[in-house]
Amino acid sequence: MGLRAYKPTSAGRRFATVLDFEEITKTTPEKSLLVSTKKSGGRNNAGRTTSRFRGGGHKRMLRVIDFRRNKDGVPGKVAAIEYDPNRSARLALLHYADGEKRYILWPVGLKVGDVVFSGEKVEPRVGNCMPLRSIPQGLAIHNLELTPGKGAQLVRTAGGVAQLAAKEGEYAQVSLPSGEIRLIHLSCRATIGQVGNLDHQNVWIGKAGRRRWMGRRPHNRGTSMNPVAHPLGGGEGRTGGGRHPCSPTGKLCKGKKTRRRRNRSSAFIVRRRK
């Protein structure tokens, strides 16, 4: 894992960097695990924009990833480490002893030829998946479930790592990358280790066009628009907007609390990230 810098042949290339893809061992994806997707362009099923500044970008195929890791007791051999255009993490292709193939998130230290397991009574090694009940205290984990059997929802991004801090009763205290400490049921599964591709956060995009390749359109400030297009628009010269930051529809976008008053999830937060 590392970064490559371009020669400064233009202003956009001068500071741009790209990952060296050193860890990638296979360039073509497993066809049986591919699903075609349709771009939304930030629109909902009514055709209205619900997420601004999205659209375009290179065509992608979705890789079906095993976030549940529910193939207990069957050894899976790492056949390849692959690139995934839909996420920052890399994927490891597993060939199971019964002939099935599955993708999992690639953790640091997992190599081609290694064998991984999932289940309650497996060794706590990198790449193995087990319930929090079976994981020793203090270990680094990722790919973490919030509801038993639902599949991993937490700590899935490149370089992501959480720590199993303590166990009390039927719950474990898990320290998340955001700094939040949360109670998670001991039946929820997690994978040992840290998600790979640690240098993802150090990539310098370099030019606006590269963002367009990723499906991101230019982000305009409200204050640079006309008053007909945005509540912060208009005025002579550059202005601060004259009111709190908001969306084009007037919805406050900084500081307003968005959690429901009786959100059951709040009861499981031991220490907030803020």
Q: What is the 3-state secondary structure (H, E, C) of the chain?
A: CCEEECCCCCHHHHCCEEECCCCCCCCCCCHHHEEECCCCCCECCCCCECCCCECCCCCCEEECECCCCCCCCCCEEEEEEECCCCCCCCEEEEEECCCCEEEEECECCCCCCCEECECCCCCCCCCCEEEHHHCCCCCEEECEECCCCCCEEECCCCCCCEEEEEEECCEEEEECCCCCEEEEECCCEEEECCECCHHHHHCCCCCHHHHHHCCECCCCCHHHCCCCCCCCCCCCCCCCCCCCCECCCCCECCCCCCCCCCCHHHHHEEECCC
Residue 262's contacts (CB-CB under 8 Å, 6 or more residues apart) are none
Residue 64's contacts (CB-CB under 8 Å, 6 or more residues apart) are 33, 34, 35, 103
The total of other beta-carbon atoms located within 10 Å of residue 10's CB is: 11
Q: Would you say the C-alpha torsion 229, 230, 235, 237 has a positive or negative sign?
A: negative
For 201, which DSSP code?
G
φ, ψ for residue 30 (rounded to 5)? -75, 115
* Tens digits of residue pLDDT in 14-43: 999 999 999 999 999 999 999 999 999 999
Q: Are strands 269-271 and 181-185 parallel, antiparallel or unpaired?
A: antiparallel
* Tens digits of residue pLDDT in 183-222: 999 999 999 999 999 999 999 999 999 999 999 999 999 9
pLDDT exceeds cutoff 80 at 83: yes
* Tens digits of residue pLDDT in 54-72: 999 999 999 999 999 999 9
Residue 144, classed as helix, strand or coil, is strand
Rounded Cα gap, residues 48 and 43, in angstroms: 5
User: Hey, what domains does the chain have and what are their CATH numbers?
Assistant: 24-40+56-196 (2.30.30.30), 221-266 (4.10.950.10)
Map tokens 């939304």 to a residue.
Answer: 40
* Tens digits of residue pLDDT in 219-272: 999 999 999 999 999 999 999 999 999 999 998 988 888 777 777 788 899 999
* Tens digits of residue pLDDT in 112-148: 999 999 999 999 999 999 999 999 999 999 999 999 9
pLDDT exceeds cutoff 90 at 53: yes
**Spatial CA neighbour of 90 closest among 100, 75, 76, 80:** 80
